Amino acid sequence: MKKPYTLTAVVFLAFIFGLGVFLLARTPALLGAALDGWRSTGGSPAVRLDGATDGFESAVNSALREGNAAIELYGGLIRAEGKRVSEDPLEADYSVAVMDNGAITFVNLDSDGSTDVTGFADQVAGWADRLDEAGIPLLYAAYPKKTARADSGLPEGLYDLPVLKMNATVEALTERGVDLLDLRDAFEAQGDYSGLFYRTDHHWNVRGAFLAFQTICRRLRTDYGLDPDPFYEDPANYNSRILKNWFLGSQGKRVGSLFAGADDFELMTPAFDTSFTFSVPSQGMERIGSMEESILFPEYAAEKDFYNGNPYVYYAGGDFDLVTIENHNNPDGPDILMVRDSMGCALTPFLALDCSTLTLVDTRSYTGDPSELAAQLGVDLVLVLRAP
């Protein structure tokens, strides 16, 4: 009966020893930070001591995040201590908390909970108004976050600010008369909400993206006179390959695999013939061929590399300012322009199957007006899939 406790003690002591060796090599810098804290804090010796302690603690936290081994060590140590929050002292938006289901997510411990999305809502409504003059509909797809609306699963007192902002965005766009599709309803209707997201990353996984694709297609079919082929919405028409423990996401990179494990990564590819041209003018990129040769980027999932790799961009290659995808096998399909952020990566290959041309715009780097581009191209629909 004593073995589990003995093993825990050995692991804990190993962490302490490793931590001591790591910090010992940085003693001059740590002592310098403490001395700076003492000098920069006015008042009594007791107050100055608090300043020195704060400076030392901040330097320790920074040192522990300098290298991958240090990240693993620190993350493993605080999990061994039973802590559910890893605070980032340098970037408030990137503290990490463990949810009730064991997955991790970003939290901002310093946030005041502000959810002002007025500027973003006005921008989207402006696009919709200008497109309406050109006879082009706009549909805003509100996508789900990793934490559910009804129960975040976060430690008491913490909240997921992006969820609150998406709630506010839906309300603001409804007031402005923008057509909405709330993808959160479809996700919450599933029996396994958390299974549609990566455990260590803030994005949905490919099964979550595919559910979003199916939900969008149903709306295009019923409300916009477009006719997506149901064949592409059947997961039985795709091959699947699972790479086990292959992916450490953006949240996992902050705290290490010992804090919350790693994710499996699924390669979902068509079991039918495809032919595309994938173009990124700003990068001088043109990829022609099957989906695997054009829209998918196998090189990003070829090797397991937790800290330097990013298998998530296996789908669509990452975040580009402007992308054009021509589907040579569907010349009579609709032309769609999608305003997207990084959540659009895994959705893109599937949506492209139903289009003649799919144009992607990421307004975080694209400097033009997407509504003007859509009117110039004469697209059949603008889909907005991005958060405020």
The string of pLDDT tens digits covering residues 105-133 is: 999 888 777 889 999 999 999 999 999 99
d(CA 198, CA 315): 15
Q: What does the CA dihedral 297, 300, 302, 308 come to, rounded to 10 degrees?
A: 170
Which residue has 């995808």 as its token pair? 325
Q: What is the DSSP letter of 315?
A: B
Which distant-in-sequence residues (6+ apart) come within 8 Å of 218 by Cβ? none
Helix (H) or strand (E) holding 105: strand 104-107
Where does the pLDDT of residue 24 fall: very low under 50, low under 70, confident under 90, or very high at 90 and above?
Answer: low
Which distant-in-sequence residues (6+ apart) come within 8 Å of 50 by Cβ? 41
pLDDT of residue 329: 98
Position 169, amino acid: T
Where does the pLDDT of residue 13 fall: very low under 50, low under 70, confident under 90, or very high at 90 and above?
Answer: low
pLDDT of residue 49: 81
The string of pLDDT tens digits covering residues 54-111 is: 777 676 666 555 557 778 888 888 888 888 999 887 787 889 999 999 999 999 888 7
**Percent of the chain whose pLDDT exceeds 90:** 70
Q: What mean pLDDT, rounded, does the chain reach?
A: 90
More confident residue, 191 or 238: 238
Where does the pLDDT of residue 177 fall: very low under 50, low under 70, confident under 90, or very high at 90 and above?
Answer: very high
At 221 the three-state DSSP class reads: helix
**Percent of the chain whose pLDDT exceeds 70:** 90
Q: Is the pLDDT of residue 8 over 60?
A: no
Q: Is the pLDDT of residue 255 over 90?
A: yes
Q: Is the pLDDT of residue 1 over 50?
A: no
Mean pLDDT throughout 124-144?
98
Q: Is the pLDDT of residue 288 over 70?
A: yes
More confident residue, 33 or 269: 269
Mean pLDDT throughout 299-305?
96
Mean pLDDT throughout 302-313?
95
The string of pLDDT tens digits covering residues 43-56 is: 778 777 877 777 77
Mean pLDDT throughout 218-227?
95
Global confidence as pTM = 0.83
Nearest to 252 by CA among 73, 105, 154: 105
Which distant-in-sequence residues (6+ apart) come within 8 Å of 326 by Cβ? 276, 277, 279, 356, 357
pLDDT of residue 113: 74
Sheet holding 138-142, edge to edge: 179-182, 138-142, 381-385, 335-340, 357-361, 322-327, 276-280, 285-289
More confident residue, 360 or 14: 360
Mean pLDDT throughout 220-247?
97
More confident residue, 175 or 82: 175
Where does the pLDDT of residue 2 fall: very low under 50, low under 70, confident under 90, or very high at 90 and above?
Answer: very low
